[in-house]
């Protein structure tokens, strides 16, 4: 896909907290078009193979369920949960397993489904964790890639969109557990203290 610079545009949204505003970076419609392309790329690499999708909770939930439907063929899925972020917008850099896989991945073709690749520390931890479990193959699909922020030497096999270094919410991504239900991927802005108006 030709790379285009993504620019956010303002859209009025209800239910935002005072002092917080969002701008649409990638619309719902654009997400769905790209997901179909990603599914085709993955199926081109594994035409007849049963694929075991592993979603990283909770940010990847909408991405995984939409992608699973676009993939077709034999697909199963599982979820795990790790924590690397506290309540703010900055990584603590520390990755901890919070919820393990339900079923073994030994001998399976695993597709790790991540919402966003930022520093890469989470993915580095996950890849080591999966390799120990002897899968047949492991590939990584990320919806968003903040290339500029990378610290760990990791890359995804399939990338939805490269995005600028801005904090994003929506389509599963949160800020303090809020905004996951926005249909579009949006950037989140904070009004300077003392200047907030009710949204
Ligand atoms: P990494 O370990 O720094 O690559 O971060 C991966 C995780 O951090 C993602 O799975 C997200 O949960 C979270 N994260 C990173 N950037 C953002 C963002 O812009 N918005 C929301 N969550 C983010």
Render pLDDT for 66-77 as a digit per residue (tens, 0 to 9): 999 999 999 999
Residue 152 has φ and ψ, to the nearest 5°, of: -80, 150
The domain ranges of the chain are 2-198
Please report the DSSP string for 133-145 in residue order. Answer: T--SEEEEEEEEE
The answer to whether the CB of 188 falls within 8 A of the CB of 22 is yes
Residues across the chain: 199
Whole-model pTM?
A: 0.89
% of the chain exceeding 90 in pLDDT? 78
Q: What is the pLDDT of residues 138-189, one digit of tens each?
A: 999 999 999 999 999 999 999 999 999 999 999 999 999 999 999 999 999 9
The pLDDT value recorded for residue 176 is 93
CA 191–ligand 1 middle distance (angstroms): 22
* CA torsion through residues 180, 185, 187, 191, sign: negative
Which residues, in sequence order, are CB contacts of 177 under 8 Å at separation 6+? none
Q: Provide residues with CB under 6 Å of ligand 1.
A: 56, 59, 84-85, 91, 114-123, 167-168, 173
The answer to whether 24 and 9 are in contact (CB under 8 A) is yes
Distances (CA, A) of 97 to 73, 100, 130, 164: 30, 7, 12, 28
3-state percent helix, strand, coil for the chain, nearest multiple of 5: 20, 35, 45
pLDDT at 71: 97
22 pLDDT exceeds 50? yes
The predicted pLDDT at position 18 comes to 86
Whether pLDDT at 12 is above 70:
no
Determine whether domain 2-198 maps to CATH 3.40.50.2020.
yes
Q: What does the pLDDT read at residue 196?
A: 54
Catalytic site includes residue 118: yes
Protein residue with least CA distance to atom 19, ligand 1: 167
């Amino acid at each position: 896909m030709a790379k285009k610079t993504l620019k956010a545009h303002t859209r009025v949204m209800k239910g935002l907290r005072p002092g917080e505003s969002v701008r649409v970076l990638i619309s719902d419609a654009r997400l769905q078009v790209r997901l179909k392309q990603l599914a085709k790329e993955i199926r081109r690499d594994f035409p007849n193979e049963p694929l075991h999708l592993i979603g990283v909770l909770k940010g990847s939930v909408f991405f995984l369920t939409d992608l699973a439907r676009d993939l077709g063929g034999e697909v199963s899925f599982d979820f795990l949960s790790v924590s690397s972020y506290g309540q703010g917008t900055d990584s603590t850099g520390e990755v901890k397993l919070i919820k393990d896989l339900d079923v073994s991945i030994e001998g399976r073709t695993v597709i790790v489904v991540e919402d966003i690749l930022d520093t890469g520390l989470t993915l580095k931890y996950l890849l080591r964790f999966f390799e120990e479990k002897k899968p047949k193959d492991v590939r990584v699909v990320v919806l968003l890639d903040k290339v500029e922020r990378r610290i760990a030497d990791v890359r995804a096999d399939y990338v939805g969109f490269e995005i600028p270094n801005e904090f994003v919410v929506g389509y599963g991504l949160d800020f303090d557990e809020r905004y996951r239900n926005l249909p579009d991927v949006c950037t989140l802005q904070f009004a300077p203290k003392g200047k907030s108006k009710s949204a």
